[in-house]
Amino acid sequence: MKTTRLIIVAVGGQGNLLASRILGEASLLSEIPVRMSEIHGMAQRGGVVESAIVFGDAESTIISDGEADVLVGFEPSETLRALNKCNPDTTVITSLSPLPPFTVAIGKGVYPELGALQGLIRAKTKKLIAFDATALAKEAGNVLSVNMVLLGALLQTGILPLSAENVKESIKTRTGKFAESNIKAFELGFSAAKLS
Partner 1 sequence: MHKLLIDNPGQKMLLLGNEAITRGAVEAGVAFATTYPGTPSSEISLNLFKISQESDLYFEYSTNEKVAFEVAAAAANSGVRSMSIMKHVGLNVAADALMTLAYVGVRGGFVVITADDPFMFSSQNEQDNRYYGKLSGLPVIEPSSVKEAKEMMAYAFDLSEELKEPVLFRTTTRINHSTATVELGSMKKRISKGSYTKDPFNCVTVPAVSRKLHVKLLKNMEKAETLSESSAYNFTSGKGENGIICNGVSYVYVSDALKDLNLENKVKVLRIGFSNPMPKNLIKNFLKDCKKALIVEEGEPYMEEAVKAYAQEAGLTLSIRGKGEDLFSRLYEFDPAMVRKCIAKYFGAVYTPPAVTDLSDVPELPQRPPNLCAGCSHRATFYAVKKAAEGMETIYPTDIGCYTLGFLPPLSMGDFLICMGSSVGTSCGFSKVTDKKVISFIGDSTFFHSGIPGLVNAVFNNHNFTLVILDNDITAMTGHQPNPGVDMGNFNLSGYGRVNIEDVVKAVGVSHVTVIKPYRIKKSIEAVKEALNFKGVSVIISKEMCTLYSKSLKKPMGKPFYISDKCKNHRVCVNELACPAFFIKDNRVTIDSVLCAGCAVCAQICPENAILPIRDKK
Type of residue numbered 143: V
Nearer to partner 1, 65 or 194 (CB): 65
- The dihedral region occupied by 113, where left means phi > 0, alpha psi between -120 and 50, and beta the remainder, is beta
CB of 75 to partner 1, least distance (A): 9
Pick the stretch among 97-105, 126-134, 159-167, 188-196 that binds partner 1 (CB under 8 A).
97-105
Exactly one of 81, 127, 138, 172 binds partner 1 (CB under 8 A); which one? 81
CB of 142 to partner 1, least distance (A): 13
**Number of residues counted as binding partner 1 (CB under 8 A):** 61
Half-sphere exposure (CA, 13 Å, Cβ side) for 73?
31
CA distances in angstroms from 149 to 19, 54, 170, 186, 191, listed in the order given: 10, 21, 15, 4, 10
- Work out whether 8 is an interface residue with partner 1 (CB under 8 A): no
Exactly one of 18, 114, 120, 159 binds partner 1 (CB under 8 A); which one? 120
H helix runs in the chain, sequence order: 16-29, 76-81, 102-105, 114-124, 133-139, 146-156, 164-175, 179-195
Is 178 in contact with 145 (CB distance < 8 Å)? yes
- Tell me which residue of 67, 137, 66 sits closest to 96, measured CA to CA: 137
* Calpha distance 44→28 (Å, rounded): 27
Pick the stretch among 120-128, 129-137, 175-183, 185-193 that binds partner 1 (CB under 8 A).
120-128
Type of residue numbered 98: P
CB of 33 to partner 1, least distance (A): 7
- Work out whether 161 is an interface residue with partner 1 (CB under 8 A): no
Site for partner 1 in 36-55 (CB under 8 A): 36-48
Nearer to partner 1, 80 or 188 (CB): 80
Binding site for partner 1 (CB under 8 A): 11-12, 20-21, 24-25, 27-28, 33-48, 58-67, 77-78, 80-81, 83-84, 86-88, 100-112, 116, 120, 124-125, 143
